[in-house]
């Protein structure tokens, strides 16, 4: 009697592990893909009931403000050849292993994003860029002419400690948060500024804390972050 | 029979794999301790370690070693109000590293108070008090 129960338990675990994993996306019916395939892992509308547990259970980062966040060219290229942005996945803890001299991430276990063809990538990008935060990212907040890049790098590394969680160069910096070494290609400057200014506006429970940053701090940090990776474009 | 044994063994291995991510100190404890342990895993363990030993995944990029919360002797010298202040206002507010940010935008005052109690629990400092 116990054996069938065990087999059923294993089968249930397997179903739970693979449930919701999106299949390949083709160029047909992008709107339907957004609402079904993409939505199986990403929040495409602002969650009505954010919580700590939602951070643990979601399978991908929120995209309900994707239109404020991403540069289209990067999005089109990335959807065709996705690479890891968060070394430990959307919730780093689930891939963390205790050890010496420090804990590590089992990066090989992080689920990979589905690949789409070029036509689908173009259409998905266009659809994603329609998703806006409804005022959280004011246009023109970033003033590039005011940026001192040396001070921005210093703020990122030593003064404000962003490097504790984010990598600004491959292999240099913390690994729990999204890497930023291609942020200049990936992210819109006004989004970087708005998110850095108050991450909890986007998610009350997200683990990037709101720092006490002056306007010049925000400008120089944003200037540094959006400079990253541009030389490789 | 052997197959059933293997299936049972697989479940034990799976259970052990999951258990490795659970803080050893959170077993059969009060709801408040469990809730704080969950918040610790979510926000603190990235630097302070999944085993609360100051060896989190982010220490690879840190110039300063995060505090080892499992260190009974080291934590015993830390007043509770200083823990609350460091969590609330950041490390610089208690003359420690600015790499420890303020968590007042994420954690409520009550959650921070509970976290201080949890840290005292984790370091077993309460036994000497």
A39, part of any domain:
yes
Give me the domain span that covers residue A187.
Answer: 26-232
The answer to whether the Cβ–Cβ distance between B56 and A88 falls below 8 Å is no
Q: pLDDT band for position B3 (50/70/90)?
A: low
A161, part of any domain:
yes
Instruction: Give the strand pairing for A172-173 and A96-97.
Output: unpaired
Chains A–B, number of C-beta pairs less than 8 Å apart: 114
Whole-number Å distance between alpha carbons of A132 and A136: 9
A183, part of any domain:
yes
The answer to whether the Cβ–Cβ distance between A98 and B51 falls below 8 Å is yes
A17, part of any domain:
no
Report the run of H or E that residue A167 belongs to, with start and end.
strand A167-169
pLDDT of res. A170: 94
Report the run of H or E that residue A224 belongs to, with start and end.
helix A215-225
pLDDT of res. B28: 61
Non-local (6+) Cβ contacts of A75 within 8 A are A66, A121, A124, A125, A128, A129
Q: What are phi and psi of A27, to 5 degrees?
A: -75, -10
A131, part of any domain:
yes
CB atoms within 10 A of CB A140: 7
pLDDT of res. A9: 43
A124, part of any domain:
yes
Average pLDDT over residues B14-29: 49
Average pLDDT over residues B48-64: 93
The answer to whether the Cβ–Cβ distance between A96 and B21 falls below 8 Å is yes
Q: Quickly list H helices, chain B.
A: 2-19, 31-39, 45-48, 72-76, 80-89, 109-122
Which residue bears the tokens 């044994």? B5
Q: pLDDT band for position B128 (50/70/90)?
A: very low
Q: pLDDT band for position B15 (50/70/90)?
A: very low
Distance from CA of B57 to the nearest CA of A (A): 5
A106, part of any domain:
yes
Whole-number Å distance between alpha carbons of B67 and A163: 18
Q: Which residue of B has its CA nearest to A92?
A: B46
Q: Is the dihedral of CA B12, B13, B15, B21 positive or negative?
A: positive
User: Is the pLDDT reported for residue A22 higher than 90?
Assistant: no
Better-scored residue on pLDDT, A41 or A12: A41
Q: Which residue of A has its CA nearest to B18?
A: A94
Least confident of A18-22, A63-67, B23-27, B89-93: A18-22
Q: Which residue of B has its CA nearest to A203?
A: B106
Q: Kindly report, residue by residue over B65-100, the tens digit of the pLDDT.
A: 999 999 999 999 999 999 999 999 999 999 999 899
Query: Using CB atoms, which residue from B11, B20, B105 is nearest to A6?
Result: B11
Average pLDDT over residues A28-36: 68
A4, part of any domain:
no
Chain A residues with CB under 8 Å of B57 CB are 88, 92, 96, 102-105, 174-176
pLDDT of res. B62: 85
Whole-number Å distance between alpha carbons of B127 and B125: 5
Q: Kindly report, residue by residue over A171-214, the tens digit of the pLDDT.
A: 999 999 999 999 999 999 999 999 999 999 999 999 999 998 99
User: Is the pLDDT reported for residue A11 higher than 50?
Assistant: no
Buried b or exposed e, range A67-98, using 16+ CB within 10 angstroms: bbbbbeebbbbbbeeeeebbbbbbbbbebbeb
Domain count, chain A: 1
Where do the domains of chain B lie, and which CATH numbers do they carry? 24-128 (1.10.760.10)
User: Is the pLDDT reported for residue A4 higher than 60?
Assistant: no
**pTM for this structure?**
0.83
Average pLDDT over residues B89-115: 95
User: Is the pLDDT reported for residue A233 higher than 50?
Assistant: no
Least confident of A76-80, A129-133, A229-233: A229-233
Chain B: residues touching A (Cβ < 8 Å): 3-4, 7-8, 10-11, 14, 20-21, 38-39, 41-43, 45-47, 49-51, 55-63, 97-103, 105-106
Query: Using CB atoms, which residue from A6, A175, A205 is nearest to B57?
Result: A175
User: Is the pLDDT reported for residue B126 higher than 90?
Assistant: no
Q: What is the mean pLDDT of chain A?
A: 87
Q: What percent of chain A has pLDDT over 90?
A: 77
Query: Using CB atoms, which residue from A160, A175, A209 is nearest to B105?
Result: A209
User: Is the pLDDT reported for residue B21 higher than 70?
Assistant: no
């Amino acid at each position: 009697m116990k054996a069938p129960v065990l087999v059923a338990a294993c089968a249930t675990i397997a179903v739970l592990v693979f449930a919701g994993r999106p299949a390949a996306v083709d160029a047909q019916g992008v709107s339907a893909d957004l609402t079904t395939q993409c939505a199986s892992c990403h929040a495409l509308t602002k969650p009505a009931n954010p919580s700590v547990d939602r951070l643990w259970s979601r399978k991908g980062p929120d995209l309900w403000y994707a239109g404020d966040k991403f540069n289209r060219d990067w999005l089109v290229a990335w959807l065709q050849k996705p690479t890891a942005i968060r070394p430990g996945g959307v919730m780093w803890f689930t891939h963390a292993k205790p050890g010496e001299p420090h804990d590590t991430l089992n990066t090989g276990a992080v689920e990979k994003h589905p690949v789409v063809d070029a036509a689908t990538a173009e259409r998905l990008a266009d659809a994603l860029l329609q998703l806006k935060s409804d005022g959280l990212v004011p246009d023109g907040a970033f003033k590039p002419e005011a940026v001192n890049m040396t001070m921005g790098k210093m703020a990122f590394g030593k003064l404000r400690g962003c490097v504790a969680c984010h990598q600004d160069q491959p292999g240099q910096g913390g690994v729990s948060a999204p890497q930023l070494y291609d942020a200049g290609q990936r992210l819109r400057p006004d989004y970087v500024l708005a998110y850095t200014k108050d991450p909890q506006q986007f998610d009350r429970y997200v683990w990037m804390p709101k720092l006490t940053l002056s306007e010049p701090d925000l400008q120089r940090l944003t200037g540094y972050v959006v400079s990253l990776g541009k030389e490789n474009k | 029979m052997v197959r059933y044994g293997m299936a049972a063994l697989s479940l034990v291995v799976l259970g052990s794999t999951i258990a490795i991510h659970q803080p050893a100190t959170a077993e059969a404890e009060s709801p408040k301790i469990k809730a704080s342990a969950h918040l610790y895993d979510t926000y603190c363990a990235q630097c302070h370690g999944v085993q609360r030993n100051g060896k989190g995944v982010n220490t690879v990029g840190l110039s300063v070693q995060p505090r080892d919360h499992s260190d009974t002797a080291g934590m015993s010298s830390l007043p509770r109000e200083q823990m609350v202040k460091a969590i609330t206002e950041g490390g610089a507010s208690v003359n420690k590293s600015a790499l420890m940010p303020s968590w007042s935008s994420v954690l409520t005052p009550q959650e921070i108070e509970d976290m201080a109690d949890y840290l005292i629990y984790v370091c077993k400092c309460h036994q000497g008090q």
